[in-house]
Structure 1
């Protein structure tokens, strides 16, 4: 697929280089003079046959093995797309950049403070990629984890303790569900309207959730999203004090039956962050797999792939 072209070329080049180095090392060893009586392996006893040396993987064999794995992965994704009712197979994201782009606060979202975590809705990139994020943690649908794993779609979860604390294990399973991991980030302890709180109360909300995520999932997250997308300078000061590096908001929001847009043109743009929520049929018109089906049909139809936010921020 076109979106995976640059990624495949890079991996192919790495495979060819490894195979070439392996072959060179093997040839060097065979001509070093090491052998029976010369510091090498002892000669086999009479009547025994020397064990054959493992043959080095040639560049051609490495290339063929890589192509086989790529074909298998793509075939599995095609089957998963059919299984989950997607109109098209999701496009493959390109390889992430060697250096992450510089993130700055979106114009109009600034506060008077300086040196604070940037607030943004779109990541600077020319690639046709978007980022999928899911907020709060109220709905714990095992089908969501299964669907995202089988489709191999990266996403990031922003968690609030008041709705995840009845089943921390669900999000531990989510975190481990993909080969490169699903990142879990901060959405405060209790999902309060932050500008109404004092600096100290905001800090307790943010730092407290940092502590919960570190205790339950092993790391203090670098990203924080304020509830409802509302914040003031105290929010950003508190976030920085708690170890937060960036504050991603969103450019569009996904529901099972529609998309809502921040931008005037009601469209996707390279680097847009897409928001949705952990919700089910009690809260909206469909399940979480219904929502993923809707948003992925829109993303793919517009020629975009979903990339991993943490590769860029």
Structure 2
């Protein structure tokens, strides 16, 4: 009887109206849920909410931020070039290759024996208008050089001899912290072809040990003193971790350039040699030398790239 009385409180017409409203609400909720799920599941963008940028606006903002960053970097490079007395701003090197080029020994630089040895070369195979700057020994420890190269963002590679580095390892640790790779130039800078194989081993592998001890890494690049070597030199170098032997196509001084090639000019991929030397050894400071070499490089339309990105 109780159930009958409750039914009588809601006439048939009213019950139908209530059911229709409830059904409409349920359909709306399901449709809303499905729409939300489709957006989230597909990963597609939703309509932007008022006050938030859409995808196009976000992309435009990112492009504008990048443009502003590049503009600031360009202004900093211009200011650095002016500060360090460069008539022209150094050209920026292109991004390094995804795959390093295959390097072989330059014709005429081979040694006796048919085994595979570290390649000896003066130029890196590339079509880019880039050159590589390298510095040998470590006698001059000019703090101005570190500041100059850092502010100008000019990459370079060091080839160190322990007998002139050992009085200030800290200088070269600072250099390493700035992104410079420290490579092998032997312990005492001796004429290697005049030494026995074991003496060469002490010079080359001994310097590998020193570099690992003080700088935490055994290098893979080696430059023999004076550019002189024989088969034993390359075999010994290979035995203690050396992968390549870069020599040079040009040499830089504060007051002039010297060239290996007959045309007295730069070529894509050329390696430039200079030394850690100061006014006691040549007519000018290391900053003067950088000004000279960068004037030559830039005027000829080349940028300086990082050797280790290609070798």
TM over 0.5: yes
1:183 corresponds in structure 2 to 181
Corresponding residue for residue 86 of structure 1: 86
CA-atom RMSD in angstroms: 2.0
Task: Indicate the structure (1 or 2) with the bigger Cα radius of gyration.
Answer: 2
Q: Which runs of 5+ in 2 are unaligned?
A: 1-35, 42-50
**In the superposition, relative to structure 1, how do residues 278 and 59 fare at CA in structure 2: closer, same or farther (>3 Å)?**
same
Residues 269-294 of structure 1, C-alpha deviations (whole Å, 9 max, x = no match) = 00000000000000000000000000
Following TM superposition, where does structure 1 have runs of at least 4 consecutive aligned residues deviating by more than 3 angstroms? 27-32
Change (3 A) 1:28 1:212: farther
Unaligned runs of 5+ in 1: 1-26, 33-51
Q: Tell me how far apart the structure 1 counterparts of residues 38 and 148 of structure 2 sit (CA, whole Å).
A: 48
For 2:112, the equivalent position in structure 1 comes to: 112
Shift of 1:28: 8.9
> Which residue of 2 is the match for residue 250 of structure 1?
248
Aligned to 2:265: 267
The residue number in structure 2 matching 1:16 is none
- TM-score for the superposition, normalised by structure 1: 0.81
Which of 40, 47, 50 is matched with 1:31 structurally? 40
Please give the alpha-carbon distance, in whole angstroms, between the structure 2 residues aligned to 1:31 and 1:241.
58
Residue matched to 1:137 = 138
The answer for the alignment partner of 1:77 in structure 2 is 77
Paired residue total = 265
CA distance in 2, matches of 1:167, 1:65: 42
In the TM superposition, what are the counterparts of 1:56-67 in structure 2 within 5 Å? 58-67=58-67
1:202 pairs with 2:211: no
Distance 1:29 1:193 in 2: 75
Q: Scaled by the length of structure 2, what TM-score is found? A: 0.82
Once residues 292 and 269 of structure 2 are traced to their aligned partners in structure 1, the CA distance between those partners, rounded to angstroms, is 19
SS of match in other structure, 2:111: coil
Change (3 A) 1:72 1:200: same
Q: Aligned-pair distance for 1:31?
A: 3.3
Decide which of 287, 300, 303 is 1:302's aligned counterpart.
300
Cα deviations across residues 107-164 of structure 1 (Å, max 9, x unaligned)? Answer: 0000023210000000000100000000000000000000000000000000000000
